[in-house]
Amino acid sequence: MKLKDKVAVITGGGSGIGRAIALRFAAEGARIVIAELNEASGSETAELVRAHGAEGFAVTTDVGRSASVADMFRSIDERNWNPDILVNNAGNAGQGLTPTHEVTDEMWDSIIDVHLNGTFYCTREALRRMLPRGTGAIISLGSVAGLSGLPGAASYTAAKGAVIAFTKGVAQEAAPYGIRVNCIAPGWVETPILNSLPDAMRPMMTEMTPMKRIGTPDEIASVALFLAGDDSSFVTGQTISPNGGMYR
């Protein structure tokens, strides 16, 4: 088992990519903490984790609120679990596709708060626990949109591009202390976020992907497992983009 007895904190683990990562890590022996805004979804994933024979629990968490993130990590401390792995996966689609000149302050903030601020809040709390131990792996979910841009999704593009840049900066800070920080920037993946997009976009997604299909959460989980374990022991500050060839 590649993650035996490791403690993995996964935000947005109630569905989609987050759930796939939680189950993959559980199958590799990790203990799982599901930080999820939707209490029912988080609890369901925790039950699935335990069904895999792994330890796990869910904490209702709003990653866009610093106090909520701090409370979540305190609940981990109370169990005497030391976070070895953090996966910053929580996200939302916000306004879907909206031209920049029509984006309101509220629409902008709803994306930035979850994707960018949430990544910062969780990373900060994880580092406070990893640095004294001199070990850890942090994986943040960016997007191919943060590499190439996406018309009609300026806030999402900005947030994901910032997550990629944030990863590079933190990786250089943390590397001397034995902590690796990397980013995954997926292309189109079959997750609930796609439900907020117009149905007419699905054929376009397939067409713009050279492999002519949309990715699966399990395929992203495989990349996360690589970055979480010893197989990537000399990898930090990198962005891996499993996208079917849509961005080069």
Residue positions annotated with a catalytic role: 156
**CA nearest 60: which of 49, 48, 68?**
68
Residue 198 burial (CB < 10 Å; 0-12/13-18/19+)?
exposed
Q: Where does 96-154 show beta strands of DSSP type E? A: 136-141
- In terms of Cα–Cα distance, which of 30, 40, 36 is closest to 7? 30
- Say how far apart CA 31 and CA 37 lie, in whole Å: 20
**Residue located via tokens 């930090």:** 236
Which letter does DSSP use for residue 180 in this model? E
Burial of 84 (0-12, 13-18, 19+ CB in 10 A): buried
Tell the residue number behind the tokens 């989609």, with chain if given: 16
Residues sharing a CB contact under 8 Å with residue 139, sequence separation 6 or more, in sequence order:
85, 86, 87, 88, 181, 182, 183, 184, 224, 227, 228
